[in-house]
Amino acid sequence: MDEKYYYGGFGGRYVPESLIEPLNELDRNYKSCKKDKNFQSKLSDILKNYAGRPTPLYLSGALSEYCGCSVYLKREDLCHTGAHKINNALGQGLLAVETGKRNIIAETGAGQHGVATAAAAALFGLKCTIYMGTKDIKRQHNNVVRMKLLGADIVEVQEGDKTLNAAVNATLRRWVQDPENIYYLLGSCVGPHPYPAIVRDFHSVIGKEVKEQIPDRPDVIVACVGGGSNSIGIFTPFFKDKNIRFVGVEAEGCASLSKGKVGVLHGAKSYLLYDKNGQIKKTHSIAPGLDYSGVGPEHSFYKERSRAEYVNINDSEALKAFRWLSKNEGIIPALESSHAVAWVMKEKWNGGQKVVINLSGRGDKDIDEIFSMEEIKREYE
């Protein structure tokens, strides 16, 4: 396979023959739009006037005092629809329009990509179908309602682990059936080439803004990692500055990079969680957006080259950080982002360091799930 499809030895296209030409077409169209000043102008306009970019880089007084260093929050939670996911949804939605596709499909776990895709489809006048696992539908009911309000059809995925992994499988199966008329708006930096590059590029606006916003440069950049879109978006613009430390924070129950092995999932070679028989392992996280058995191939490349370090945080630690930031800073973070906050809170820092946390989403989507926990119920009754 052509080396251009790989990040080191990761990535590639491990897909049915019927998808090779649609992927080639997508690659050609994306490269053309990437160079097109008119496309870039349209995208810049909707990111500013529709999505609300640039998002602030906020020096958190409470976290800085707690950690003993300067802790900045990149406020992606303030984007329209409540997470970084809108960057990629608008970029790919506009790409679909420019290339004549009118039927959008997408997968979602936490629901934020589904909501962002539904919003983009409504904006551009496209038909939208979202695939979501039964387990995630139950724990992200608010986002399901939002998707429906925005005009999307929801397909419940009942097989497999009933989470994001199963939703991706179902969406890929649907795309294989009609690739000529369907645009698959993939939500993370996973899957076959060129999706990891497309998603990375549309999210790199996060890191580009941080470069302009922070005094001097950060010492450490921290972001949660499931598939890895928000983290690759903030890391990429700083890649060549080897003095900046990258930390990707996984959920302990789905830590592909911390605990996994190299394999192939959803059309790409990357680090995965699988058993001795090669079967994908079931995962668990309190944060549905991290509940995935694999990770983007570029993150695997970062791991192999020691450009980033990958750590993990358990449910209890993430929940503690969620509640702490809510009570002490007045910001309710998504449970996914809470993993990054939790890791920073656990570390020992010196007073001169600048730490940037990508606060990738807001936590109102998680309220029902959190308040179903018995210990939380008792506290607030």
- Catalytic (active-site) positions: 85, 107, 360
User: Are the C-beta atoms of residues 105 and 174 closer than 8 Å to each other?
Assistant: yes
Q: Residue 320: how many CB atoms within 10 A of its CB?
A: 17
Cβ distance 311 to 251 under 8 Å?
A: no
**CB contact at 8 A, 250 and 233:** no
Q: Which of these, 73, 54, 138, lies nearest to 321 by C-alpha position?
A: 73
Q: Which of 366, 342, 343 lies closest to 286 in space, CA to CA?
A: 366
Exposure on the CB side of residue 255, measured as CA atoms within 13 A: 17
- Outline where the chain has alpha helix (H): 20-35, 37-49, 61-67, 85-98, 112-124, 134-139, 141-149, 164-177, 195-203, 205-213, 229-235, 256-259, 297-304, 315-329, 335-346, 367-370, 374-380
Distance, CA of 318 to CA of 27 (rounded, Å)? 38
- CB 361, CB 334: distance < 8 Å: yes
> Do 252 and 313 meet the contact criterion of CB atoms below 8 Å apart?
yes
Look-up of token digits 């990761």: 10
Q: Which two tokens stand for residue 191?
A: 């899957």
